[in-house]
Amino acid sequence: GGFDHEGIDYMFKVVMIGDSGVGKSQLLNRFVRNDFHMNSKATIGVEFLTKTVLMDHKLVKAQIWDTAGQERYQAITTAYYRGATGALLAYDITNRHSFNHIEKWLDELHRHADKNIVVMLVGNKSDLSSIRQVPTEEAEDLAKQKGLFFVETSALDSNNVEPAFLGLLSHIYTRVS
Protein backbone atom coordinates (compact mmCIF):
# COMPACT_ATOMS: atom_id res chain seq x y z
CA GLY A 1 0.00 0.00 0.00
CA GLY A 2 1.11 3.56 -0.56
CA PHE A 3 -0.32 5.18 2.56
CA ASP A 4 2.92 6.60 3.95
CA HIS A 5 2.04 7.90 7.41
CA GLU A 6 3.23 6.43 10.71
CA GLY A 7 3.98 3.21 8.85
CA ILE A 8 0.30 2.81 7.99
CA ASP A 9 -0.24 0.86 4.77
CA TYR A 10 -3.99 1.29 4.42
CA MET A 11 -6.62 3.59 5.91
CA PHE A 12 -10.24 2.44 5.71
CA LYS A 13 -13.21 4.58 6.63
CA VAL A 14 -16.05 2.57 8.14
CA VAL A 15 -19.48 3.93 9.10
CA MET A 16 -21.76 2.64 11.85
CA ILE A 17 -25.43 2.64 10.76
CA GLY A 18 -28.72 1.20 11.98
CA ASP A 19 -31.60 2.33 14.17
CA SER A 20 -31.11 4.30 17.35
CA GLY A 21 -30.64 2.10 20.41
CA VAL A 22 -29.37 -1.04 18.68
CA GLY A 23 -25.93 -0.67 20.26
CA LYS A 24 -23.78 0.96 17.56
CA SER A 25 -21.88 3.21 19.97
CA GLN A 26 -21.30 0.42 22.48
CA LEU A 27 -20.09 -1.95 19.76
CA LEU A 28 -17.54 0.67 18.76
CA ASN A 29 -16.69 1.34 22.40
CA ARG A 30 -16.14 -2.38 22.94
CA PHE A 31 -14.00 -2.84 19.82
CA VAL A 32 -11.78 0.22 20.25
CA ARG A 33 -11.61 0.61 24.06
CA ASN A 34 -12.78 -2.78 25.35
CA ASP A 35 -15.35 -0.87 27.37
CA PHE A 36 -19.16 -0.89 27.73
CA HIS A 37 -21.77 1.39 29.32
CA MET A 38 -25.21 0.00 30.15
CA ASN A 39 -26.83 3.31 31.05
CA SER A 40 -25.06 5.55 28.60
CA LYS A 41 -27.46 6.59 25.90
CA ALA A 42 -24.93 9.27 25.14
CA THR A 43 -22.68 8.73 22.19
CA ILE A 44 -18.95 8.73 22.27
CA GLY A 45 -18.85 12.45 21.53
CA VAL A 46 -16.38 12.41 18.69
CA GLU A 47 -16.96 11.96 14.98
CA PHE A 48 -14.86 8.81 14.77
CA LEU A 49 -12.51 6.49 16.64
CA THR A 50 -9.50 4.80 15.11
CA LYS A 51 -7.94 1.42 15.61
CA THR A 52 -4.90 0.05 13.83
CA VAL A 53 -4.67 -3.67 13.15
CA LEU A 54 -2.13 -5.91 11.46
CA MET A 55 -3.56 -7.71 8.46
CA ASP A 56 -1.55 -9.87 6.09
CA HIS A 57 1.69 -8.16 7.31
CA LYS A 58 0.18 -4.74 6.55
CA LEU A 59 -0.82 -2.06 9.04
CA VAL A 60 -4.45 -1.19 8.46
CA LYS A 61 -5.86 1.85 10.21
CA ALA A 62 -9.63 1.81 10.59
CA GLN A 63 -11.32 5.16 11.01
CA ILE A 64 -14.75 4.22 12.34
CA TRP A 65 -17.46 6.86 12.29
CA ASP A 66 -20.30 6.90 14.80
CA THR A 67 -23.39 9.08 14.72
CA ALA A 68 -24.31 11.56 17.42
CA GLY A 69 -27.88 10.27 17.34
CA GLN A 70 -28.90 11.82 14.00
CA GLU A 71 -30.29 8.45 12.89
CA ARG A 72 -33.27 9.11 15.17
CA TYR A 73 -34.32 11.96 12.85
CA GLN A 74 -33.16 10.40 9.55
CA ALA A 75 -30.68 13.25 9.48
CA ILE A 76 -27.39 11.54 8.64
CA THR A 77 -25.63 13.70 6.07
CA THR A 78 -23.86 12.73 2.87
CA ALA A 79 -20.54 13.75 4.47
CA TYR A 80 -20.92 10.88 6.93
CA TYR A 81 -20.84 8.35 4.08
CA ARG A 82 -18.25 10.09 1.90
CA GLY A 83 -15.20 7.93 1.28
CA ALA A 84 -16.49 5.01 3.35
CA THR A 85 -15.26 1.63 2.14
CA GLY A 86 -17.19 -0.32 4.76
CA ALA A 87 -20.37 -0.16 6.80
CA LEU A 88 -21.35 -1.98 9.95
CA LEU A 89 -25.15 -2.16 9.73
CA ALA A 90 -26.55 -3.09 13.13
CA TYR A 91 -29.95 -4.17 14.39
CA ASP A 92 -31.04 -5.42 17.81
CA ILE A 93 -32.07 -9.12 17.92
CA THR A 94 -34.68 -8.22 20.58
CA ASN A 95 -36.25 -5.49 18.41
CA ARG A 96 -38.09 -6.63 15.30
CA HIS A 97 -38.52 -3.04 14.06
CA SER A 98 -34.78 -2.50 13.95
CA PHE A 99 -34.48 -5.60 11.72
CA ASN A 100 -37.40 -4.53 9.51
CA HIS A 101 -35.54 -1.27 8.86
CA ILE A 102 -32.48 -3.00 7.35
CA GLU A 103 -33.84 -2.48 3.82
CA LYS A 104 -34.30 1.23 4.53
CA TRP A 105 -30.66 1.45 5.68
CA LEU A 106 -29.47 -0.39 2.58
CA ASP A 107 -31.40 2.10 0.41
CA GLU A 108 -29.76 4.93 2.32
CA LEU A 109 -26.33 3.36 1.71
CA HIS A 110 -27.00 2.89 -1.98
CA ARG A 111 -28.07 6.51 -2.29
CA HIS A 112 -25.15 8.04 -0.43
CA ALA A 113 -22.22 5.62 -0.35
CA ASP A 114 -19.89 4.03 -2.88
CA LYS A 115 -21.62 1.17 -4.68
CA ASN A 116 -18.77 -1.21 -3.81
CA ILE A 117 -19.05 -0.54 -0.07
CA VAL A 118 -18.62 -3.72 2.00
CA VAL A 119 -21.47 -4.27 4.47
CA MET A 120 -21.36 -6.34 7.65
CA LEU A 121 -24.87 -6.98 9.01
CA VAL A 122 -24.68 -7.29 12.78
CA GLY A 123 -27.43 -8.66 15.02
CA ASN A 124 -26.45 -7.14 18.37
CA LYS A 125 -27.49 -7.97 21.98
CA SER A 126 -27.01 -11.73 21.58
CA ASP A 127 -26.74 -11.85 25.40
CA LEU A 128 -30.52 -11.22 25.41
CA SER A 129 -31.43 -14.29 23.33
CA SER A 130 -34.18 -15.24 25.82
CA ILE A 131 -36.19 -12.25 24.56
CA ARG A 132 -35.09 -12.54 20.94
CA GLN A 133 -37.55 -11.33 18.25
CA VAL A 134 -35.39 -12.07 15.19
CA PRO A 135 -34.35 -15.68 14.50
CA THR A 136 -30.73 -16.10 13.40
CA GLU A 137 -31.79 -18.01 10.27
CA GLU A 138 -34.00 -15.16 9.12
CA ALA A 139 -31.09 -12.72 9.27
CA GLU A 140 -28.80 -15.23 7.55
CA ASP A 141 -31.33 -15.51 4.72
CA LEU A 142 -31.58 -11.73 4.35
CA ALA A 143 -27.79 -11.40 4.37
CA LYS A 144 -27.44 -14.04 1.66
CA GLN A 145 -30.17 -12.42 -0.45
CA LYS A 146 -28.59 -8.95 -0.15
CA GLY A 147 -24.94 -10.05 -0.42
CA LEU A 148 -24.00 -8.95 3.08
CA PHE A 149 -21.68 -10.56 5.60
CA PHE A 150 -23.45 -11.42 8.85
CA VAL A 151 -22.71 -12.11 12.50
CA GLU A 152 -24.53 -11.86 15.84
CA THR A 153 -22.71 -9.93 18.57
CA SER A 154 -22.94 -8.68 22.11
CA ALA A 155 -21.26 -5.43 23.03
CA LEU A 156 -22.11 -6.30 26.63
CA ASP A 157 -20.30 -9.66 26.89
CA SER A 158 -17.97 -9.05 23.89
CA ASN A 159 -19.26 -12.03 21.94
CA ASN A 160 -18.17 -11.79 18.27
CA VAL A 161 -17.37 -8.06 18.44
CA GLU A 162 -13.79 -8.49 17.22
CA PRO A 163 -14.78 -10.94 14.46
CA ALA A 164 -17.45 -8.48 13.28
CA PHE A 165 -15.06 -5.54 12.87
CA LEU A 166 -12.00 -7.56 11.83
CA GLY A 167 -14.11 -9.55 9.36
CA LEU A 168 -15.39 -6.33 7.82
CA LEU A 169 -11.85 -4.92 7.60
CA SER A 170 -10.47 -8.08 6.04
CA HIS A 171 -13.24 -8.13 3.42
CA ILE A 172 -12.44 -4.49 2.58
CA TYR A 173 -8.74 -5.39 2.46
CA THR A 174 -9.45 -8.23 0.04
CA ARG A 175 -11.35 -5.85 -2.17
CA VAL A 176 -8.67 -3.13 -2.33
CA SER A 177 -5.39 -5.07 -2.17
Q: Is 43 in the site for Mg ion (CB under 5 A)?
A: yes
Q: What phi, psi does 60 have (nearest 5°)?
A: -110, 120
Binding mask 88-117 for ligand GDP (x = CB under 6 A): ------------------------------
Closest residue by Cα to residue 53 from 10, 5, 113:
10
Q: Is 170 in the site for ligand GDP (CB under 6 A)?
A: no
- The one-letter amino acid code at 168 reads L
Alpha carbons within 13 angstroms on the beta-carbon side of residue 41 total 4
Q: Is 32 in the site for ligand GDP (CB under 6 A)?
A: no
Return the bridge partners of 63, or none: 13, 50
Q: CB nearest ligand GDP: which residue?
A: 23
Q: Is 26 in the site for ligand GDP (CB under 6 A)?
A: yes
Taking the C-alpha atoms of residue 122 and residue 18, their distance in angstroms, rounded to an integer, is 9
Q: Is 74 in the site for ligand GDP (CB under 6 A)?
A: no
> Which residues of this chain interact with ligand GDP, rule CB under 6 A?
20-26, 37-38, 41, 124-125, 127-128, 154-156
